[in-house]
Structure 1
């Protein structure tokens, strides 16, 4: 009897300063059209609060589990039947701004399995560089 392949999930958090206001940035983090411009090959609304993230012609379904306008959004990934799972992978974008310096920071929390932190840092560095090109920041 084979044991199921269980990968350890890790919470990877990284923060980037971005030269753009939360009002400009937020649509790039929380809408299908905005995410398609920098995050993955395509994003489509499926139903209600559900989206289909497409990478390398593979579908990855997620549900928006929490959102605060111009502040934060969390996507919780679903199984291949588009159903919620326990201990699901999630991705959270959180915008924070300093009242003192007027700087805006994008904090990304990526909870998933199978990545080394060095690889994840490199991946997010590249993705956020694309985002900064889009917003001019």
Structure 2
């Protein structure tokens, strides 16, 4: 089994950090773009797609309007995915950063999947 590598994707977004964070950290927000159904209980999100596939992710860290870090329950302890929000000092634009882990040869495919998901998020927030 090869070791996964961390990769990072950045997206400029025309949205306030508070509104964006709602879409990244609440069941209702995540259900708009990330999964078909999202539940939250005992610090664990349950995601389902196509009415059957279900995955669970625990919240490792959360700073309101700044960052949420989650770990799939089936993933090794050191792996996570994270959404972080910053304001560019140069452009004053909101920047969404996605950090995730993938096999080195799968980073491009996983990045493309995130690009598709984030495009759907931006559509939902009117970006």
User: Offset of 1:86 from its aligned partner?
Assistant: 4.3
Alignment pair present for 1:101 and 2:96: no
- Larger helix fraction of residues: 2
Alignment pair present for 1:126 and 2:116: yes
Task: Please list the CA deviations of residues 28-77 of structure 1 after superposition, one character each: whole Å capped at 9, or x if unmatched.
Answer: 000111111111222111x2211112234222111111000001001112
What is the RMSD computed on CA atoms of the aligned residues?
Answer: 1.9
Q: Aligned in 2, Cα 1:77/1:29: closer, same or farther, shift over 3 Å?
A: same
Unaligned runs of 5+ in 1: 1-5, 80-84
Alignment pair present for 1:74 and 2:64: no
Tell me the TM-score normalized by structure 2: 0.88
Q: Aligned in 2, Cα 1:9/1:119: closer, same or farther, shift over 3 Å?
A: same
1:3 maps to which residue? none
2:53 maps to which residue? 58
1:29 maps to which residue? 24
1:102, 1:74 → 2: CA distance?
24
Q: Aligned in 2, Cα 1:44/1:113: closer, same or farther, shift over 3 Å?
A: farther
